Structure 1
Amino acid sequence: MAPAAASGGSSLPSGFSVFVTFPDLLFVLEFDAAYHCVAALFYLSASVLESLATISMQDGFTYKSYHENISAVVFAYVATALYVAHAVFSLIRWKSS
């Protein structure tokens, strides 16, 4: 019963054989780290553009719209910081594996 499962079971692929099967392709850690680095870069650029737009609209819009944009800028920088932290930890995990 158990020896057949232990001796003849499927093994995890390594190297370029990971790209052959679909479920194993999802576990490639390099793509995870690269995704989070690119996402952090995109969030940072969006945060900078949002803060520039908020600074330029300081005089021309209502008080409520200005404060909504300030909160959007704050949350954009928080999301950027979280993506950067996750990218750093993904890269550390990738280097240790």
Structure 2
Amino acid sequence: MASTTSGDVLPTGARIFISFPDLFFIPEWVIGGLVWILVASTRVFQENPLGWVMFVSVFCFVGTTLWLFIFACGGNQSSFWPGLDAGFHFVAAVFYLSASVVLAYITILIGKGSTFDINLLKTYRLDISAVVMSHVATLLYFLHAIFSAIRWKRA
């Protein structure tokens, strides 16, 4: 019985750095790490729901790292990997979209009170950077999910 995917559908080794959509791994990893660092460096208030943002950024950072190592080591040659690839990146895109909305809302709330407090102004500026990076990460994961789904359906 023949496999539904050929052995050359998913790249392995150094080819993941030059194949599309797998070349998104490194930017996703870097931008996700920046979101994690920026949110972790701000002051968290009790009613602040930044726990979800931290969960998403850590989950996607660790997941992308594991995914990168699996692809680099060649452990992705079974027939179910193209579907898992598309599924993981779709879940990451939805998670990052929800985290981006929460982070933008919190940043707007912090911005209303940041005109008089210098420490709050620093938190506000860090949160603005985190919002931008979070939206970029959302875009990268969404593009990776779309092109992974196209590759999965082509197989």
Q: Normalised by the size of structure 2, how large is the TM-score? A: 0.46
Aligned amino acid, residue 79 of structure 1: A
Is there any run of 5+ residues in structure 1 with no aligned partner, and where? 1-12, 16-22
How far the C-alpha of 1:45 sits from its partner, in A, is 0.3
- After superposition, the C-alpha distances for 1:66-93 in whole angstroms (9 at most, x for unaligned) are 1110000000000000000100110110
Identity %: 49
In the alignment, which of 56, 73, 82 is matched to residue 29 of structure 1? 82
Is there any run of 5+ residues in structure 2 with no aligned partner, and where? 5-74, 115-119
CA contact under 8 A between 2:3 and 2:79: conserved in structure 1? Answer: no
Does residue 1:42 correspond to 2:100, yes or no?
no
1:78 is matched with which residue?
136
- After superposition, the C-alpha distances for 1:27-60 in whole angstroms (9 at most, x for unaligned) are 6211110111011000000000000000111122
Q: Normalised by the size of structure 1, how large is the TM-score? A: 0.71
Q: Partner of 1:57: helix, strand, or coil?
A: helix
How many residues in Structure 1 have an aligned counterpart in Structure 2?
79
CA contact under 8 A between 2:96 and 2:137: conserved in structure 1? Answer: yes
Aligned amino acid, residue 138 of structure 2: T
Structure number with larger C-alpha Rg: 1
The separation in 2 between residues aligned to 1:70 and 1:51, in whole angstroms, is 8
1:52 is matched with which residue?
105
